Chains A and B, each alone.
Chain A
Amino acid sequence: MIDFFYQILWTLDATLRVATPLILCAMAGIFSERSGIVDISLEGKLLSGAFVAAAIAAVTGSAWLGLFGAIGASVLMSLLHGFATITHRGDQVVSGLAINILASGLTVILGIALFKRGGQTPTLASDERFRPQELWFVDLMDNIPILGPIYRELISGHSLLVYVALLCVPLASFILYRSRFGLRLRAVGEVPIAVDSAGVSVTWLRYRALIVGGVFCGIAGAYLSISHGANFVREMSAGKGYIALAAVIFGNWRPVRAFMACLMFGFLDAITSRLQGVDLPLIGEIPAQLMLALPYILTILLLSGFIGRPSPPAAIGKPYIK
């Protein structure tokens, strides 16, 4: 029984770790999509953030500089997306795709040029990364049954960036629903002409939304390469940006719901690695591929209106022409 309890705790703990980059990217996706800009470039921003974080941390030895570098790189990608789609009214999907392909090319080319390790960055020492942190009173809490282990195994012992990701959800919610910027941002994704006639610049609002998204994706990238992992390997984002996009849709473009979707997708991922090779009673062994495909299957079902009804921002994908 105790054993089973710990199994659950560890699975949930893994869930949180797997979900962290998804949560951050999903918040990024919400900001840009809520402002009316399709963002399939989450993947590319995540990847470039991961690379720059690892590269800077490897050169300077500072995880913090790595994090700021990652944010910078990711915001730069956002600005490129904005330049193409807002300033030049280019196709948002095409631009996003270009950024994803650019990112997978550039990270490897620069990685080889800088470190000569076939696209990888050097492995970071422990003090050059964001390491798991024990929270306060862990030892004290140990004396309490059930809550003690939950606190030690699940709540405590994550890296700073995991907690940042968790904080980003209420923050994103607050900005979107309780601030003037958020109100305008939601409006510009629904009826941009109304925002424009109120004398607010559609262009600048959308740029700001993309920049906020860039910051989130940068943190997510840093988490991948200098917190969860200890170096950058090529294509390390491995479709997480797309899963986050699925979570955005699944969460109906709302922060808290998207967060739940990220946790669910993270849980599927965590439980897949636990169930590898395990024979379940009645069902037998579930193919790992089926589990990994589940987020996509669920999103498709949702999108097609079989579970709930998605309500994307009305002006999404449409360039604003004054």
Chain B
Amino acid sequence: MSNVKPLPRWADLLLLPLINLCAAFFICGIVVWMIGENPIEALSVMIKGAFYYPGSLGYTLNYTTNFMFTGLAVATAFHAGLFNIGGEGQAYVSSLGIVFVIAVFAPFLPALLVILLCIPAAAIMGGVWAFIPGYLQAKRGSHVVITTIMFNFLAFALMVWLLAGPLLERGQQSPQTPKIPDNAILPKMETALGWFGMDIASSPLNLSFIVALVASFIFWILIWKTRLGYQIRTVGKNQDAAHYAGINVSRIIIITMMISGAFAGLLAVNAVMGVQHRVVLNYTAGYGFTGIAVALMGRNHPIGIFFASLLFGALFQGGAELDFEFQSITRDMVLLIQGMIILFSGALAYMFSPSLSRVITGLSRKEASHD
């Protein structure tokens, strides 16, 4: 390994992820081909389904919103060298924050204030759910990977019990809360753009997309422009060095996990206040796990996370289209693609790195000899 030169920055940031992505798609293409369908056709159905039909872009961007939240959550923890697998649970429990704010404030506050209170409430609840794993890692030495997995299951159990019991809508069979009042509903994007005289196709896309963009900006400021962000990155690089530099490592671990959980918690803003207008069973639908793929692909940077979220948004929306167009491939294909992307751009991230480095060095040497 040591005789291979490190990759140039552009290749490390753009080319290598692209190669990994292509490898993931290539393997999935082989699976589609083995099933007896045309991979190119399947891809074009997905692309059309994600962008081409009226309103489909809105659906895609709505998924994108979810993935931005969970991707930012995972990335925050990654920066401190922590692995938050618990985005799913944090995003689920955070709806309780919204329910609480609505129950207390919705009866007498105007819409704008209710919404402005609900958003931090969701974030705080997500942060609280991540606090315990963070605390246990920092103070009791239990690994955050295992505890966040366990906390996902705890969140599922808690929410099933709440949704089928205390929070159940009266007379309902399926576990869900009553509809939230009108002054807690986030306006849809088509409505919001309508205020400015713009006319777009109807879709579930709502103002939480703006919340996601703001969150991305906050993430960037936090990680690269604040003292806390610097401490988080130092802890992520080397805990001992951070400790000797006078950083309270335990404190940073706990805070990072809470911020991470807060980002994940914002997913409830989209799901509950933007799309479903109530808390339904399993609305997180695996978005927390997809957030891991998003963070890995997006290299823990908000711009990368945005594009990775867009990719996964397109995959989820386009994947739904597969159900209609094909007999034997369904939206489950997206799970396979997702798994492959996590494998190639996560676990095997540097598999292609040595050979790529050799190719690049070879090319640049050739250029040098021409000069």
Measured CB to CB, the residues of A under 8 A from B are 38, 40, 80, 84-85, 88, 90-95, 97-106, 108-110, 112-113, 116, 119, 239, 242, 245-246, 249, 287, 289-290, 292-293, 296-297, 299-300, 303-305, 310, 312
> Which residues of B in the span 166-180 have a Cβ within 8 Å of any Cβ on A?
none
Q: Which of A95, A108, A289, A297 has the most CB of B within 10 A?
A: A289
In the complex, B107 has a CB within 8 A of chain A: no
Shortest Cβ gap from A22 to chain B (Å): 14
A-side contacts of B141, CB under 8 Å: 305
A271 to B136, CA, bound (A): 30
A16 to B289, CA, bound (A): 32
In the complex, B157 has a CB within 8 A of chain A: yes
A-side contacts of B334, CB under 8 Å: 105
A-side contacts of B339, CB under 8 Å: 98-106
Interface of B is mostly: helix
B-side contacts of A95, CB under 8 Å: 343, 346-347
A292 to B292, CA, bound (A): 26
Q: A85-B347, A97-B289, A303-B142 are in contact. Are A40 and B149 (CB under 8 A)?
A: yes
> Which residues of B in the span 319-371 have a Cβ within 8 Å of any Cβ on A?
327-330, 332-340, 342-343, 346-351
Shortest Cβ gap from B41 to chain A (Å): 16
In the complex, B192 has a CB within 8 A of chain A: no
A-side contacts of B329, CB under 8 Å: 109, 112-113
Q: Which of B36, B151, B296, B336 has the most CB of A within 10 A?
A: B336
Looking across the interface, which residue of chain B has its beta carbon closest to that of A288? B161
Looking across the interface, which residue of chain A has its beta carbon closest to that of B336? A105
Shortest Cβ gap from B79 to chain A (Å): 15
A300 to B147, Cβ gap below 8 A?
yes
Total cross-chain contacts (CB, 8 A): 143
B-side contacts of A110, CB under 8 Å: 35
A88 to B350, Cβ gap below 8 A?
yes
B-side contacts of A99, CB under 8 Å: 339, 343
A304 to B142, Cβ gap below 8 A?
yes
Q: Residue A101 contacts which of B160, B296, B333, B342 (CB distance < 8 angstroms)?
A: B342
> Which residues of B in the span 142-161 have a Cβ within 8 Å of any Cβ on A?
142-143, 145-147, 149-151, 153-154, 157-158, 160-161
Looking across the interface, which residue of chain A has its beta carbon closest to that of B1? A321
> Which residues of B in the span 109-150 have a Cβ within 8 Å of any Cβ on A?
136, 140-143, 145-147, 149-150
A88 to B140, CA, bound (A): 31
B157 to A109, Cβ gap below 8 A?
no
A91 to B143, CA, bound (A): 15
A-side contacts of B292, CB under 8 Å: 94, 97
A289 to B165, CA, bound (A): 11
A103 to B350, CA, bound (A): 23
In the complex, B85 has a CB within 8 A of chain A: yes
A94 to B36, CA, bound (A): 30
In the complex, B83 has a CB within 8 A of chain A: yes
